[in-house]
Amino acid sequence: MSHIYCAENSSPLIRLYYATVAKRAAYRASNILTISEFTRKQIVEWSGVPSEKIFNVSCGVDPAYQPAGDNYGLPFPYLLCVSNRKRHKNEFRLIEAFSRSGLSSEIRLVFTGQSTAELSDFIERNSVTPRVFFAGLVPEEKLPALYRGAAALVFPSLYEGFGLPVLEAMACGTPVVTSNVTALPEVAGDAALLVDPTSVQQIAEAIRQIVRDTGLRRQLKDKGLSQAARFSWDATTAAVHQIMANWIHDKPH
């Protein structure tokens, strides 16, 4: 759905494909499975397909994402953004908010992946070049350690169909700041600080609060672990199997 609702992820060819091939496939499908109530509603709105044949099977989190275990080994305290360079990830506002947060110069902002020339120039103009670190390609098996070592995950995305980094961070016992839009409140529940992702001021205030307020951090950690426990790949698998079994049972022979 991001190809429909995020202009930067779209193109005339993509829109044509969705309007013809994808929409026709949606109508012909016996069932449509998706990963959040947010995307379920968007599929109904976009396709016109009856809501009763669209099912939210959610996402899960691997048991490797847990509080116990090694840290990634970065030699400085850091805030983490598990992201990529797509514009809807909202990294430019996050960098500006980090520069305004007033946090100690010892604290870094760590991104997964590599920077771009445009992003590096923006970081320089915000005078935080020594404090922003790009971790490169982080292997899947190393991601839990990267989450565990972070003071918080900061994930102010403008659009997510689910938002797996939020769930992974909470499962690792890492406090979370994320957006109050799209599927993110559904995943975070009351276990994260929710901000307007278009407000640099709100992001900056949340960053400052989550680093400085020890009691809040402890509370969010406990709530996050409880929230993450509500999601599992076993539950997703069971939901998919049940939908398939119902379809087979109801299918004309």
pLDDT tens-digit readout, 149-178: 999 999 999 999 999 999 999 999 999 999
What pLDDT, on a 0 to 100 scale, did the predictor assign at position 249?
84
- Average pLDDT score over the chain: 96
What percentage of the chain exceeds 70 in pLDDT? 99
Residue of 168, 172, 154, 175 whose CA lies nearest to 221: 175
Domain with CATH 3.40.50.2000 in the chain: 78-228
- Cβ burial, residue 99 (10 Å; 0-12/13-18/19+): buried
Tell me the pTM: 0.94
- Taking phi over 0 as left and psi of -120 to 50 as alpha, with beta for the rest, 136 belongs to left
What pLDDT, on a 0 to 100 scale, did the predictor assign at position 5?
87
What pLDDT, on a 0 to 100 scale, did the predictor assign at position 253?
60
CATH superfamily of 78-228: Glycogen Phosphorylase B; (3.40.50.2000)
Residue of 145, 190, 162, 155 whose CA lies nearest to 80: 155
Mean pLDDT of 225-233: 97
Mean pLDDT of 82-101: 97
Tokens of 202: 């709100």
pLDDT at 9 over 90: no
pLDDT band at 53, cuts 50/70/90? very high
What pLDDT, on a 0 to 100 scale, did the predictor assign at position 16?
93
